[in-house]
Amino acid sequence: TCITPSAVCVELLVSSTLRLLLASIIIIIIIIVIIIIIIIIIIIIIILRFMKAYLFFLSLSLFFFSQNEFHGKEPCTSRGDVPDPSVSGDTVAEKLRDVYAKNALLRLHILKVKDHLVEFGGDHALVAKSLVSVKDHLQNHQVKVKALLQNVYPDVPLPPTPAPLQLTADHLYAKKKYGRCVIVALAHWLDGVLRVLEETNSVCHAQGARVQLV
């Protein structure tokens, strides 16, 4: 016990106080980091749920649109100019990366189909306006997938921008078949995207559980 002030006592008191202060600061920082991680995970889960609902209704709309507008005269057995609608990858990160790349590519194809419909004229030009909304939805979806990749898998690089399209469809019938097959492919691709979002949702819940254990 220090009865009279001395340099040694003061130094011990200051050192003890600093250690307690430093420990308190570290604990506060850890708590803040955990809170931030939990908030990010909650935001991602909300985004995923919103995306799944909107993609479900969009896929239904695309299905009925393709049946009503293009009449399904010929099945899309061979892809030709149409991109592969399947989602590739072994891990969730690889699948999300493929979703990001296919999203950008399919958006280019939808824009091309819209241009063809405008070129056909008449009622086709009116239908083309609905594809503008599809194009905008794909753009918004691209932003959300990018946010998921950057938050859940920050080490995974984004795919490069797809090259401009070089199509072989050069006459009316070929362009109509191409347009129908693009929309059918987009609807099938959206089904795969929904499954990837379910997997991503599970990853986010697992990360949240690990954070809570810490």
Cβ atoms < 10 Å from Cβ of 163: 8
Three-state secondary-structure class, residue 61: helix
For residue 13, what pLDDT is reported?
59
Domain range summary for the chain, segments of one domain joined by +: 7-213
For residue 14, what pLDDT is reported?
59
Q: Which parts of the chain have pLDDT scores under 70? A: 1-19, 21, 42, 45-79, 122-124, 126, 205, 207-214
Buried b (16+ CB within 10 A) or exposed e, 48-81: beebeeebeebbebbbebbeebbeeeeebeeeeb
Second-level CATH architecture of 7-213: Up-down Bundle (1.20)
**Using an 8 Å Cβ cutoff, are 83 and 109 in contact?**
yes
- pTM of this structure: 0.65
For residue 100, what pLDDT is reported?
95
* Measured distance CA(73)–CA(43) in Å, rounded: 44
For residue 104, what pLDDT is reported?
95
Three-state secondary-structure class, residue 84: coil
**Using an 8 Å Cβ cutoff, are 186 and 47 in contact?**
no
Residue with the two structure tokens 């859940």 = 152
Contacts of 167 (CB under 8 A, 6+ apart): 81, 112, 178
- How many helices (H) and strands (E) are present in the chain, helices listed first? 4, 0
* Measured distance CA(149)–CA(18) in Å, rounded: 41
For residue 117, what pLDDT is reported?
83
Note the Cα 180 to chain centre separation in Å. 25
Write out the H or E segment, with its range, that includes residue 47: helix 7-70
DSSP symbol at 3: S
For residue 199, what pLDDT is reported?
87
For residue 197, what pLDDT is reported?
87
* Measured distance CA(85)–CA(79) in Å, rounded: 9
